[in-house]
């Protein structure tokens, strides 16, 4: 077997919303070797046609075929946009070793921590693994890394991810539906005394007056942002809220019950199917900017606060992935397994077009 890596960048899930946006960016940046990987030859060809033939396509029937093809054909970079990260992330990251690199948009705490647990294996294999390389995770992690740099361990961290994006005509899709159902079924989480602890889903309701003069509410969800903030700060108490959490006073009281119901495989499947098919309509984004927010407290009473401003959160996610691919291609990514700002520093957030605003 030829053991040299091919200089190819495989986008798995290239026919999805993020995949299409990323393919356009990599083509515009003239990054060579991009291969769009998906289930449908026709849909792959339709995307490649819009990019003037600057990318290649590869039809593979499903996740199992993709998992078998990566170690056999040895692309340099695999970008996993398939979703279902609890099943796909770790096997695909391992399939890139040795000498290949892996990045995804995983956001659930167990998957993200499982990926980071591959650190020693990835280093020994001369590979880089980065989980959660989108608005979700980076928008808050970058702030915590900046605020804690050179400081003693803080006593408390509060982070908020306040995304705003313009929906398109279509359906939610299964990948996002699975992510949403997994978040709801886990129930809320926060760090207490350094331990990931259950809190009610939708608790910690926060009302933010944003630096651009608009306002948004957020509430607790169990998301990978918590894990990344714990890695970056080592703070014993960490809370995370998201603007994607249901904040309506009518729905919030029902969320703990919904979490319990979603533990049933039948209800989970029904909910995924119905959410995946739910129609989305093209509309302007609800607020002009997406915001990450962090407040860090130290035991001596010192408090530091900062904001990250991006535009459309989906566009920003594609920009973050583009910056990560550049780092892989340029050889500037460290070897090992990381969350995004732990790998490439908080500068990754600004390389992708965001601005820090210190409070």
Give the binding site for ligand NAP (CB under 6 A). 13, 15-19, 38-40, 62-63, 81-83, 105, 107, 132, 134-137, 173-176, 179, 314, 317
């990250």: which residue's tokens? 308
Cβ-contact 15, 40 below 8 angstroms: yes
Smallest gap from residue 176 Cβ to ligand NAP (A): 4
Taking the complex as a whole, how short is the minimal distance between the CB of residue 208 and ligand NAP, in angstroms? 19
* Residue with smaller CB distance to ligand NAP, 269 or 303: 269
The tokens for 217 are 């509410």
Least distance from ligand NAP to the Cβ atom of residue 32, Å:
22
Residue nearest to ligand NAP (CB): 16
Nearer to ligand NAP, 34 or 125 (CB): 34
What's the closest the beta carbon of residue 177 comes to ligand NAP, in angstroms?
A: 8
Q: How far is the CB of 21 from ligand NAP (least distance, A)?
A: 8
Query: 298 with 155: CB under 8 angstroms?
Result: yes
Residue closer to ligand NAP (CB basis): 125 or 231: 231
Task: Please say which residue, 8 or 141, places its beta carbon nearer to ligand NAP.
Answer: 141
In the complex, minimum distance from the CB of residue 337 to ligand NAP, in angstroms, rounded to a whole number: 17
For ligand NAP, which is the closer residue by CB, 101 or 154?
Answer: 101
Could you give the CA distance from residue 295 to residue 239 in angstroms, rounded to a whole number?
10
d(CA 188, CA 353): 31
- Which residue, 103, 99, 94, 90, is CA-closest to 129? 103
* In the complex, least distance from residue 175 CB atom to ligand NAP, rounded to whole angstroms: 4
The answer to whether 109 and 89 have CB atoms below 8 angstroms apart is no
Which CB sits closer to ligand NAP, 13 or 114?
13
Give the nearer residue to ligand NAP in terms of CB position, either 82 or 232.
Answer: 82
Instruction: Please report how close the Cβ of residue 229 comes to ligand NAP at its closest, in angstroms.
Output: 15
- Dihedral of the CA atoms 257, 260, 262, 267 (nearest 10)? -80
Q: What is the DSSP letter of 71?
A: H
How many helices (DSSP H) and strands (DSSP E) are in the chain? Answer: 14, 18
Q: Which burial class, exposed, middle or buried, applies to 127 when counting CB atoms under 10 A from its CB (0-12, 13-18, 19+)? A: buried
Give Cα 68 to chain centroid, integer Å: 24
Q: Is the bond preceding residue 35 a cis peptide, omega within 30 degrees?
A: no
Q: Smaller CB distance to ligand NAP: residue 225 or 239?
A: 225
Return the exposure string of 340-355: e unless at least 16 CB atoms fall within 10 Å of the residue's CB, then b.
bbbbbebebbebbebe
């Amino acid at each position: 077997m030829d053991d040299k890596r091919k200089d190819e960048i495989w986008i798995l899930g290239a026919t999805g919303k993020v995949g299409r946006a990323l393919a356009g960016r990599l083509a515009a940046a003239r990054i060579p070797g991009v291969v769009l990987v998906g289930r449908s030859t026709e849909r792959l060809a339709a995307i490649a046609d819009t990019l003037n033939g600057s990318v290649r396509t590869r039809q593979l029937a499903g996740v199992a075929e993709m998992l078998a093809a990566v170690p056999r054909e040895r692309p340099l970079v695999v970008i996993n946009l398939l979703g279902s990260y609890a099943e796909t992330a770790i096997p695909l990251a391992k399939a890139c070793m040795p000498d290949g690199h892996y990045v995804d948009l995983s956001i659930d705490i167990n998957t993200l921590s499982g990926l980071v647990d591959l650190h020693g294996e990835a280093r020994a294999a001369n590979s880089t693994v980065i989980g959660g390389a989108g608005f979700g995770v980076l928008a808050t992690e970058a702030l915590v890394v900046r605020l804690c740099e050179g400081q003693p361990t803080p006593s408390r961290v509060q982070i908020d991810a306040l995304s705003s994006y313009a929906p398109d005509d279509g359906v939610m899709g299964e990948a996002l539906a699975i992510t949403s159902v997994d978040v709801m079924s886990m129930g809320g989480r926060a760090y207490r005394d350094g331990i990931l602890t259950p809190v009610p889903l939708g608790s910690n309701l926060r009302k933010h007056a944003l630096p651009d003069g608009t306002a948004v509410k957020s509430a607790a969800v169990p998301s990978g942002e918590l894990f990344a903030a714990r890695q970056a700060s080592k703070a014993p108490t960490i809370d995370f809220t998201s603007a994607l959490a249901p904040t309506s006073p009518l729905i919030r009281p029902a969320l703990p019950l919904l979490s319990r119901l979603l533990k049933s495989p039948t209800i989970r499947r029904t909910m995924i199917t119905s959410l995946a098919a739910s129609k989305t309509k093209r509309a302007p984004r609800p607020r002009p900017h997406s915001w990450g927010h962090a407040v860090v407290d130290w035991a001596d009473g010192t408090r530091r606060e900062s904001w990250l401003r991006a535009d459309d959160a989906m566009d920003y996610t594609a920009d973050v992935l583009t910056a990560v691919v550049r780092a892989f291609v340029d050889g500037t990514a460290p070897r090992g397994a990381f969350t995004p700002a732990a790998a490439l520093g908080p500068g990754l957030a600004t390389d992708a077009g965001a601005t820090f605003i210190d409070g």
